Amino acid sequence: MPFPFPLGVTTPLYLAPMAGVSESPFRRLCRRFGADVVVTEFLSAEGIRRENEATTAKLRFSPDEHPIGVQIFGADPVAMGEAARLVTDVFQPDFIDINFGCPVKKVVKRNGGSGCLRDLGLVQEVIRAVARGTHLPVTCKIRSGWNEEMRDPVTIALRCQDAGARVLALHPRTRTQMYAGAARWEEIAAVVAALDIPVLGNGDIKTPADAHSMWRQTGCAGIMIARGSFGQPWIFDQVKDLLAGVPMRPAPGVAERFAIALSHARMAEEYEADPRGAAIEFRKHLGWYVKGLPGSGDLRKQLHAVNSLAQVEDIFSQYLARGPRHNDVAELLPLAEGAAA
Ligand SMILES: Cc1cc2nc3c(=O)[nH]c(=O)nc-3n(C[C@H](O)[C@H](O)[C@H](O)COP(=O)(O)O)c2cc1C
């Protein structure tokens, strides 16, 4: 079955929904570097329907982000349906994605996110309510189950498809695992084999070669990358090269990497109302951009103290002025640590 929104590519690459990371500036950057589809971070259905200011602010996106999905979470089918209607009418994304994967305590204790996976009847009610609330395609992102005893990604995925999901993304870990252990790609292959709708593979793609391996091993219709995009949005272009069977573009050298980080920082500054707040919030990205560079320990320390874009520019200029060895093409960054959601 084809993807329910126009893409123009055979194997679409998705920037995964990520709280505090897949915000408008980063989504735009990843689109420029080859991501075919982007998804907002998860947003509470209650927050949306009550028009909570912080939630509504996160629904803003630019025309260059399409195709974009808005991800919502909640265990109340009525609230989820209303949130879907409001998002569709006011913000007009290309699809509505439902979060059945978030493992965070605050969310699961009210049966949101992966909490829903304990009750597949509820999962289906939520999907049907969202589908009634919007004319847009409804997609789902799931984990493999609540815990090892309830681990059954194929059944969960089939129930999602049966309730009307048009695309399904699987992060093959259970809620109890959080981020421990390896993502079981063989579960992605099993879900691909069982479903008629397109299945997106997600989990543990740290390098372009990992994405290629996942695609070959699972036959997934699309690939969703989360932590592997931290500090290296160009990973999408590189994956595209590997999928196309052409030589892979090298990762940018240090000077170019800094230019990309600064362009990202400028977009973040324009997007946020408060420039100092934007700089502070941006520190984590700076840490990721310089990870693996020679002398990155010191560099990170300096960058983690910045309060303005001008300070970042100075730190980068001083680093580049220090010597030619810093302009070597850097290795791809290792998988970022400290996954939060
Ligand atoms: C910082 C962070 C925030 C996340 N927020 C969300 C979220 O809002 N919605 C969601 O469905 N998954 C969220 N996730 C999970 C990712 O989308 C993805 O499923 C997971 O990180 C595994 O993929 P990866 O190995 O490529 O990182 C988050 C992950 C991280 C690291």
Instruction: Name the pTM for this structure.
Output: 0.94
Q: Is the CB of 42 under 6 A from ligand 1?
A: yes
Query: Per residue in 93-146, pLDDT tens?
Result: 999 999 999 999 999 988 899 999 999 999 999 999 999 999 999 999 999 999
Q: Is the CB of 226 under 6 A from ligand 1?
A: yes
Nearest CA to ligand 1 atom 7: 18
Q: Are strands 138-145 and 43-44 parallel, antiparallel or unpaired?
A: unpaired
Give the active site residues: 102
Amino acid 338: pLDDT: 35
The CATH number assigned to the domain with range 13-244 reads 3.20.20.70
Amino acid 339: pLDDT: 36
CA–CA gap between residue 172 and residue 188 (Å, rounded): 7
| 39: confidence class by pLDDT, cuts 50, 70, 90 | very high
Query: Per residue in 169-188, pLDDT tens?
Result: 999 999 999 999 999 999 99
Q: Choose the residue to mutate in 18, 22, 100, 108 for probing ligand 1, maximizing ligand atoms within 8 Å of C-beta.
A: 18
Amino acid 333: pLDDT: 40
Q: Is the CB of 205 under 6 A from ligand 1?
A: yes
DSSP 148: S
Q: Taking the domains of the chain in order of start, what are their residue ranges?
A: 13-244, 254-327
CA–CA gap between residue 140 and residue 264 (Å, rounded): 29
CA–CA gap between residue 266 and residue 25 (Å, rounded): 9
pLDDT tops 60 at residue 40: yes
Q: Where are the alpha helices (DSSP H) in 142-253?
A: 153-163, 185-194, 208-218, 235-244
Q: Which residues contact 218 (CB under 8 A, 6 or more apart)?
A: 185, 186, 188, 189, 192, 201
Atom nearest to 21 CA in ligand 1: 1
Q: Choose the residue to mutate in 206, 224, 227 for probing ligand 1, maximizing ligand atoms within 8 Å of C-beta.
A: 227
- How many angstroms does the Cα of residue 99 sit away from the middle of ligand 1? 10
